[in-house]
Amino acid sequence: MKRTKLVCAALAAVLLLSSCSHLKLVIRYAGSKAAELTEGHPAPPAASAPSPDAPVPSPEETPNVDAAIEGADESLGGEDIPLISDLSVAGGISAPPEPKEEDSLAVYAHYKPEFQERYRRFLRSYPDMTETTALALVNVNADYGYYKGITQIQDPDGLLVFCNKNYQLPAGFAPENLRAISGYELLMTDEAATAFEDMRAAVKKDLGKQLIAISAYRSFSYQKALFARYARADGIEVADTYSARAGHSEHQTGLTIDLLHTWPKNGSLRNANFQDTEQYAWMLDHAHEYGFILRYPETEESVTGYRFEPWHWRYIGADDASKMHEEGIATFEEYIGTYYRLEGTAIAEAG
Ligand SMILES: [Zn+2]
């Protein structure tokens, strides 16, 4: 199977013609890494098109907690990179294949020998990308293309739960410790809610200004309906640039919050231009101290698969958020791929 995929990928990268999913891998990084390929990037909605990018869910969504997931990880080696989950299984550990030849990439701590060919292919496609970034992104299956090679997340309750277009939350998953944010009916996990409340108080103290919560926890079923509505309005391809498919939304983790300085007119978060406010500037400097990261930065659309969302902040805890901030790592994808190992159950092939 692997060999077939490699051939497919090589053809796609060279030809840039077919609709093979690996073409999307090329497209995906075109925006920031290879400007000449931008024609492949999903076009943002035209200014006149409907832009329903303001999910304002009703807060009365009831979490479905009857399917708590017991996951298990298989450690693949003795490297320094910790598993993202603290769950581990005795036995069932298989040694990674030996590199076919001495690989200069092996000097990196996050190098995985079993990904040697994928790293090389990725670097050939993106020669301007640094080796360490390429390794990190391949480590999180970013070379598969959006919604290809999907892995089911095994530690959905973890603070570092990694949810994107390649990693899916279980349908029945809801965090167990959700609570309403003070002053709202919106839900977050207790820890994330407290962190938000502290950050909101700090903004008030420093700036004398408000942070308004627009959306927080959303259930799988709510997200499913939301995406379906957007896809009907704008088509799936466009909807994919601003909304997540069910199971792929960070809002299902209870660790994510959409914030603005004001209640959005017509429900449009984008039109509120939060990025032009003092609150946003403050958050770029200080949100990490409270454990929050900007999940979909302006220049990283090609990595995250989402248009810039100045309002969407993800709680990962102050230690990791601060480390990411200090090292200037722009995306959670690169951060996780550099410092953690992701294990999960593949539920879709990468081809
Ligand atoms: Zn959001």
Q: Where are the alpha helices (DSSP H) in the chain?
A: 2-15, 21-33, 116-125, 131-139, 190-207, 220-234, 236-239, 278-286, 301-304, 318-326, 332-339
**347 vs 351: CA distance, rounded Å:** 12
pLDDT value of position 345: 76
Domains and CATH numbers, the chain: 53-69+134-346 (3.30.1380.10)
pLDDT confidence of residue 249? 94
Instruction: Give the Cα separation of 214 and 56 in Å (integer).
Output: 6
Structure tokens at 27: 């497209």
Distance 292 CA to ligand 1 centre (A): 13
Distance (angstroms) between ligand 1 centre and the Cα of 312 equals 4
What burial letters (b/e) apply to 303-342, b meaning 16+ CB within 10 Å? bbbbbbbbbbbbbbbbebbbebbeeebbbbbbbbbbbbbb
Decide: helix, strand or coil at residue 222. helix
- How far is the centre of ligand 1, averaged over its atoms, from the C-alpha of 66 (Å)? 25
Q: Output the CA 134–ligand 1 centroid distance in Å.
A: 26
55 Cα to the center of ligand 1, angstroms: 8
DSSP 125-191: H-TTS-HHHHHHHHHTTTTS-TTSS-EEES-TTSTT---SSSEE--TT---TTEEEPTTSS-EEEHH
Which pLDDT score, from 0 to 100, does residue 315 have?
98
SS3 288: helix
Query: pLDDT below 70 — which residues of the chain?
Result: 1-101, 348-351
Cα–Cα dist 80/74, whole Å: 15
Nearest residue to 71 (alpha-carbon basis) of 158, 171, 144: 158
Q: From ligand 1's centre to the CA of 251, what distance in Å?
A: 6
- 248 CA distance to ligand 1 centroid (A)? 12
Q: 3-state class of 206 per DSSP?
A: helix
CA of 256 to the centre of ligand 1 (A): 7
Ligand 1 centre from 302 Cα, in Å?
18
Q: Is 341 helix (H, G, I), strand (E, B) or coil?
A: strand
pLDDT at 134: 96
* Cα(38) to centroid(ligand 1), Å: 25
Dist. CA 9 → ligand 1 center (Å): 32
> CB–CB of 256/295 below 8 Å?
yes
Cα 50 to middle of ligand 1, angstroms: 18
Ligand 1 centroid, distance to 157 Cα (angstroms):
18
Residue 58 CB neighbours (<10 A): 9
Look at the block and give the residue holding tokens 């279980």.
Answer: 170
Give 58 Cα–ligand 1 centroid separation in angstroms: 14
Distances (CA, A) of 281 to 203, 274, 319: 11, 9, 21
* CA of residue 261 to ligand 1 center, whole Å: 15
Q: Ligand 1 center to residue 214 CA distance, Å?
A: 9
Residues with Cβ within 8 Å of 194's Cβ and at least 6 positions away in sequence, in order, are none
**CA 254 – ligand 1 centroid, Å:** 11
Dist. CA 62 → ligand 1 center (Å): 18
pTM recorded for the entire structure: 0.73
Q: What share of the chain is helix, strand, coil (3-state, %, to 5)?
A: 40, 10, 50
